[in-house]
Amino acid sequence: MSVNKGKELVRCAAALARQLHKRQVDKAGVDYFSGHLTIVAKMGQTWQEQVVGYLHDASEDTPNTVDEVLNLLEEKLGTLLSAAEREELTVALRLLNHHFAPDRETYIHRIKDNPLATAVKLHDLTHNMDLSRLPNPTEKDYERVARYKKEYDYLNKI
């Protein structure tokens, strides 16, 4: 893929994420697109990590399926993804949707088998563990961060 197409895909993914998550806020009450998705996407080292960073919650937190999200991405892009690109994004986005797993442990273990999903989940966990974004963290927040740290350590082992 050309560098320009990769950049255009990231731009379109950002626009789509902004549209799909309109009026959603994170735990700190901040706009979900700018307060979480953009931060996770910008941690990405490749266009794939950035696209999945923007879209990792789209099928989980909106009424759209992964296929619908990718169809919308192709509409914004004005062209189809290659079969390989679409497959790579589909697999990662499905793995990152916890609704496809019976429990949290299975969800995290499945992610570990896919380098793209693992990279994006590590970025997601990194941001989610930053309690400085919450004005008054609760005991529940500290418990969640402890769980996230264990998941991060598991995913980060080579």
What lies within 8 Å, CB to CB, of 86 at 6+ separation is 70, 80
Sorted by where each begins, the domain ranges of the chain are 3-156
Query: Residue 7 carries which side chain, given as an amino acid letter?
Result: K
As a whole number, the mean pLDDT across the chain is 95
Higher pLDDT, 28 or 21: 21
Q: Judge whether residue 3 has pLDDT over 70.
A: no
Tell me which DSSP letter residue 47 carries: H
pLDDT tens figures, 113-132: 999 999 999 999 999 999 99
Whole-model pTM? Answer: 0.95
pLDDT tens figures, 72-122: 999 999 999 999 999 999 999 999 999 999 999 999 999 999 999 999 999
Class of domain 3-156: mainly alpha
